[in-house]
Structure 1
């Protein structure tokens, strides 16, 4: 067993979309910094970022009903939808910058234009959708959205969903053509290919077993080579933990006080997938419905067109499941191992608060394929079991922490950065909207962890992200210009494929 020691400026743990994004930003801002990446799997983008481990939605709040909440007075709060849309616009701008400078190529391999739709049934939900439509279309970020409760119009938009539909309930949908399908696995691999060409040291099959502070404030990581078992020690001034569900364990090992009291609850996902071309060609959209009562927000049912490896398929789900693993390739002891003296009371409080969620997950786990087909037939009335296969997607670890609003043991649904007060280490926790907002989230990491450099970086940041520091919703003309420019760069302005 060797004990090799090396020193670097930045260490990125995990070869997913978050590390890829942060590494690419830093290489543009400070190309002279030495960056080293450690990934325990054999290649990049194999866990949460992998195209089969997520729904591939470019989350811009165009169709996700859980981003718009009906307030007690009946009005619709669109603030979260606006925030998420702006963040996705930032991602589009950065990707366009990389394409325009030939740092990554062939954007059609990771992003495709695809209408985003919301669909509901029943008088109450139809009334909600109409109010949501009216609230959103008053905002410049959502221009072009259409609404219809006419079954004939819906049959034009979503023929597969409307064929053989027998119901007397009102039905309505919204549609906006500027939505996207994003292959985050392909994008991650492109970014790591670029980083490798820039001299970034990428080490696959390397597991970070532990970390500690050194006397000069740097971080020393104990890294194990999974091929030979040798142990290496790597020191860096800054460490980013982007290991998906595995980030929580590493954050706990860091010992920073900001990570104390945080727990995690794993939720697995499953999808039904159809590759029958006769069926696939009848649908061309991402259609989101409403989550059932008691279901977590990430279990909103949706029927999606997907583009993976230049092949078109349909995906329906997600069906929630439960595994104590924090990663798809993790250990059955991940959940138990995450319970520490500092978070045990928080975890217990979360368990007491979320009995309905636990019951829902148990019911989901016990579902047969035919039961899942019954849910699918709420979207596609004539769906046949032989046309659909079950695919196990990735693990998502929802953050549990004490909050002023929710009290002790509050289950958080979203993406969260935890960083040390001195900015020497940061970890990315949580789930959706995740990858879609990766650029905005990594800009937040830069602001928190490198405040001394942000001023000198501002000119370059504005070159990469023209709206940097500016609200697009308050500058409609700038939004229109940027949206058109990014659509052109990413190949999204070409005519949408007809059904």
Structure 2
């Protein structure tokens, strides 16, 4: 290891959407702070944030049925859907601020308006969807949502899905036109280009191998140059571990008590992508179905229009699978290496609880292309094998921890922010809704880790995010105002589309 030690104010590990968001927020709040970013790959947004590695939905809970759960009394719990939608509104406000301030340009390169639909078959599912619609459509966050169980209306909404459909099962959908497609890979790269212009030191092909506490309370990182193998030491007062699935291993190396008794369960994924432009042209929406029994919530089947490299694409999936890697570019020993004395019982308990899930994932891995095509034909009855290719998606590592409600070794299907008691280090674990709520998650991090600055920073935070400190659910009059302004700035309104 080099004896030279480089000191900085903030270190961000991982050049994904989370580090990009936090770095951009901090540069607006305290421009004179020095920030260094370490990324082991060659470019920003190459792992979980990459456009081919995630759903790119712009998760606002408009169509994702796993965010609205039917309770034992038959009512629909929509609290999570409302919370996620509000968080997405926060993201749109921040992105609008960046565009209006000319910090990033051409929002159409990362966000596009696109209808979001939920689609179900079978009498019970149709009943559930109608109750979900009735629980949401009165809320201003879900204004404009429509429900239909009329095959004729559904043919207008989703012609590719309804064409050649011969099933006599009841079928229904909800549709809302305020949905989006977000290219988080493109947005991540835009933000890092902006950070580079702001003199943030971005070191690609640099891997963080170890993290330890220094005597003065700062953090010392052992960083290896991937090309040369040279090892450097870097210290910072604050460290954010935003390395996607790799965050857990680095959190464990930090040794903070808050990182104990936490494990990770890796889930891999595949998408099918349509290469026939004639088929792609027949579908313009994101259509989410219901997860199969035993499938993890992140495996909800969906047929998505995507805009990648300014080209319209069509993806179906995801097909879940199992790999012991914590990153797509990770090691086959990641899972084994994450088992520590403090979390071994938690991990064993999770393994015992999730035998059906493990079996399901293994079955998914073993599917042939034709078997995957059969699942696709549940969405597109006329789908032809020659029109579709398989794309390997990113790795997701679901958090395993002990909870009061779930007991020991409970598998979590969300994002978790873990921070030291003194706020000097934080890590983001988990997956969906992930990138779509990045701004809200990073605002939570700022509150937790920099409480002494919040009062001073509040005016700037409100400038960047007009609803900061206010619940949109409690101030519904703000919702229309915010959606109108962000829609205009980000090019999501029909009015602006006509002008352009």
- Alignment match, 1:387: 387
Q: Secondary structure at the match of 2:131?
A: helix
Alpha-carbon separation, structure 2, partners of 1:285 and 1:497: 17
- Alignment match, 2:23: 23
- Identify unmatched segments of 5+ residues in structure 1: none
Alpha-carbon separation, structure 2, partners of 1:226 and 1:373: 40
- Alignment match, 1:348: 348
Q: Secondary structure at the match of 2:330?
A: coil
- Alignment match, 2:185: 185
In 2, are the aligned partners of 1:111 and 1:183 still within 8 Å (CA)? yes
Cα displacement string for residues 380-426 of structure 1 (whole angstroms, at most 9, x for unaligned residues): 00000000000000000000000000000000000110000000000
1:194 aligns with 2:233: no
Cα displacement string for residues 92-147 of structure 1 (whole angstroms, at most 9, x for unaligned residues): 00000000000000000000000000000000000000000000012111000000
Matches within 5 A, 1:24-103: 24-103=24-103
Matches within 5 A, 1:66-465: 66-465=66-465
Q: Secondary structure at the match of 1:394?
A: coil
C-alpha deviation, 1:6, in angstroms: 0.6
Alpha-carbon separation, structure 1, partners of 2:68 and 2:331: 36
* TM-score when normalising by structure 2: 0.99
Alpha-carbon separation, structure 2, partners of 1:314 and 1:211: 42
Cα displacement string for residues 133-165 of structure 1 (whole angstroms, at most 9, x for unaligned residues): 000012111000000000000000000000000
C-alpha deviation, 1:495, in angstroms: 6.2
C-alpha deviation, 1:494, in angstroms: 2.7
In 2, are the aligned partners of 1:4 and 1:231 still within 8 Å (CA)? no
**Number of residue pairs the alignment of both structures matches:** 498
In 2, are the aligned partners of 1:224 and 1:230 still within 8 Å (CA)? yes
Alpha-carbon separation, structure 1, partners of 2:225 and 2:271: 34
Greater shift, 429-438 or 275-284, is seen at 275-284
Greater shift, 300-309 or 223-232, is seen at 223-232
C-alpha deviation, 1:275, in angstroms: 2.5
Cα displacement string for residues 276-314 of structure 1 (whole angstroms, at most 9, x for unaligned residues): 111001000000000000000000000000000011110
Q: Hey, which bits of structure 1, 4+ residues long, moved more than 2 A?
A: 1-4, 494-498
Alpha-carbon separation, structure 2, partners of 1:370 and 1:226: 40
- Identify unmatched segments of 5+ residues in structure 2: none
C-alpha deviation, 1:80, in angstroms: 0.2
Alpha-carbon separation, structure 2, partners of 1:103 and 1:495: 24
